Amino acid sequence: MELHLDFIEDKVEFFETGELSKLEAAVQEKIEQNQALLLRVHHVSHQVNIDPSSGKRIYSAVVHFRYKG
Range of the domain at 56: 10-67
* pTM of the entire predicted model: 0.83
Task: Indicate whether 33 belongs to any domain.
Answer: yes
Task: Indicate whether 5 belongs to any domain.
Answer: no
CATH code, domain with 33: 3.30.1660
Q: How many domains does the chain have?
A: 1
Q: Compute the distance between CA of residue 26 and CA of residue 29 in angstroms, rounded to an integer.
A: 5
Give 6-53 pLDDT, tens digit per residue: 778 999 999 999 999 999 999 999 999 999 989 999 999 999 999 999
Task: Indicate whether 49 belongs to any domain.
Answer: yes
Task: Indicate whether 1 belongs to any domain.
Answer: no
Query: Would you call 44 helix, strand, or coil by DSSP?
Result: strand
